Amino acid sequence: MAKLKLGVLISGRGSNLGALIAACRKADFPAEIRLVISNAADAPGLDHAARAGIATAVVDHRGFADRESFDSDIDAALAGAAVDLVCLAGFMRILGPDFVTRWRNRVINIHPSLLPAFKGLNVHERVLDAGALITGCTVHYVRPEMDAGPILAQAAVPVLPGDTAESLSRRVLKAEHRIYPAAVRLIAEGRARVSGGRVTFRRAATATGSLINPPAG
């Protein structure tokens, strides 16, 4: 069976890109990364991709008069690489509604909270300020609204006494690295699809010890 072809969009260090690269190296993983795009030429994730032998491209948003033109170049690069699924991995630009509509149900994102709680930026600081006892991360399909869209996978992470934004961020990031490849696998194997504004799964899912829902296996 042909592998699902991924395009990964990054803006910085690309730690979730690294998790996807590691997953794609496994013989039984049903996806491969065809292209990594960054809006920043100095993004460390580009070097990580190049070392892994993955094609890279820079589409600098500062060189465009409007978001639509920027999105159009992103779209052309992804189409040129025959990408099936776009994975946003720390991509710090909001894609316009025309792009999201064109790629509907073919763009996913990972967010460092249990959506729909704590959308936006400075998530870990806001989690601590709110006194939340549980946080986590979410993989979701992208919609024109920020941090919205059908939820594909989540992992819960406890907030511990004495946590700082930095310590909490590190633990949430470890959970992100587990569930992003798991979510891609669900799509690649045809086990997840969007129906009626929600994700439905071909096989019944129950919570596991890692609190990934649905389970990674």
State the catalytic residues: 111
Phi-psi label, residue 2: left if phi above 0, alpha if psi -120 to 50, beta otherwise = beta
CA angle 138-33-86, nearest 5°? 45
Contacts 24+ apart (CB under 8 A), 115-119: 115/140, 115/147, 115/148, 115/151, 115/154, 116/147, 116/148, 119/146, 119/147, 119/148
